[in-house]
Structure 1
Amino acid sequence: MSDKSLLDQWRDTAYDRELTKNQLETFWSKYFTIEKGIYEELLKDPDTEVKGTVKELAEKYNQDVLTMVGFLDGINDSLKIANPIETMTEDTVVSLAFDKERLYKNMVDAKADWLYELPQWDEIFDENTKKRLYREQKQSGTIRKDKKIGRNDPCPCGSGKKYKKCCGRNA
């Protein structure tokens, strides 16, 4: 057995610098198909908490333990209570109780259209809610800068003076 944590073993496999671009694309394509299948199952009954050891969940979804660790790593930010992914072993009990809105937004953030466009979402959210969540997530990454105050503009404090003669004097 390796001294590395399961998460480190997963990351070594998933981000192996020795693999060619084609090998990595094949690996991730296979993983995304597996991930999609697990999400399809979870989203069929989103209010039921799926819980068990890492090994039990891997068996439930017909996956090897490391693939399940990769899935747990991906969903962890969307869970109601995060799992101890850094230190988990095969026998660590984990939960897949997710926050529906957070999961949807995280899928949008990851640009995982194969996940946030799953038909199971139609049973969870109506079209307007999905659009709102999508828009909220896209806007959360947008940085908006306030209009810069010019030297000769009226001071925003409301004094009636020019900015340079009022609050801009100290800037």
Structure 2
Amino acid sequence: MGLLKDWRDHAYGLDDRTPEGKDFWFKYFNKEKAIYEIILGNPDDIVTGTVKELAERFELDIETMVGFLDGIDESLVKSNNLEEITEDSVVSLEYDKEKLYMNMVGCNAQWLYELPQWNDLLSEEKRSELYKTEKSSHTVVKPQKIGRNDPCPCGSGKKYKKCCGANL
């Protein structure tokens, strides 16, 4: 588990309601945003390298780079097997742009899904469609409740309480 466990223990062990936790996440989200500005701005450049090389390229420490990889992994064309990752593991940031956009929406990461770089990657109509799809995918639709004196939905013509609802 190594690096991924260290990242998760540290990051998720912080209470984001404390000054220390707020500061940590504020700094992390700004670094994350900077990386996305780069990789979304150069969509034809598939970023690959060792974890250490990418951390140096994006001016991050190893733990923060692992945190970024943890966040983007579900949106990648091929997962980087983060459970066994080391500083020398070669990783790829080749992402599925629609999946990445939807995952950003799903995480309520407005600072990411509203980046201007998306304008060149997905049309406004497509982004709107993906946004609606992602937001509605978590909407629970309850079936209409059948009242005791309503006609039974089985079509018998009897009241629900005298038919299918009698066993309740």
TM-score over 0.5 for the alignment?
yes
The amino acid of 2:112's aligned partner reads: L
The amino acid of 1:55's aligned partner reads: K
* Residue number among 7, 10, 17 corresponding to 2:4 in the alignment: 7
Identity %: 57
Aligned to 1:101: 98
Count, aligned residues: 168
Q: Could you tell me how far 1:95 is from its partner in structure 2?
A: 1.7
Q: Distance in 2 between matches of 1:11 and 1:37?
A: 21
The TM-score with structure 1 as length reference comes to 0.86
Native 8 Å contact 1:46 1:100 kept in 2: no
The amino acid of 2:83's aligned partner reads: E
Aligned to 1:82: 79
Unpaired runs of 5+ in structure 1?
none
Aligned to 2:153: 156
Equivalent position SS for 1:52: strand
The amino acid of 2:50's aligned partner reads: T
Q: Which moved more, 1:90-99 or 1:150-159?
A: 150-159
Is 1:40 the counterpart of 2:37 in the alignment?
yes
Aligned to 1:121: 118
Q: Distance in 2 between matches of 1:157 and 1:98?
A: 49
Aligned to 1:65: 62
Q: 1:164 to 1:136 in 2, by over 3 A?
A: same
Q: Distance in 2 between matches of 1:20 and 1:42?
A: 31
Residues 132-164 of structure 1: CA distance to partner in whole angstroms, max 9, x if unpaired?
Answer: 211221112221101111222222233333323
Residues 19-54 of structure 1: CA distance to partner in whole angstroms, max 9, x if unpaired?
Answer: 982222222111111100110111123354322221
The TM-score with structure 2 as length reference comes to 0.88
Q: Distance in 2 between matches of 1:159 and 1:63?
A: 69
- RMSD, matched Cα: 2.2
Q: Which moved more, 1:12-21 or 1:139-148?
A: 12-21
Q: Could you tell me how far 1:167 is from its partner in structure 2?
A: 2.8
The amino acid of 2:59's aligned partner reads: N
Q: Distance in 2 between matches of 1:94 and 1:17?
A: 27
Aligned to 1:143: 140
Q: Distance in 1 between matches of 2:40 and 2:152?
A: 54
Aligned to 1:112: 109
Q: Could you tell me how far 1:80 is from its partner in structure 2?
A: 2.0
Q: Distance in 2 between matches of 1:127 and 1:19?
A: 33
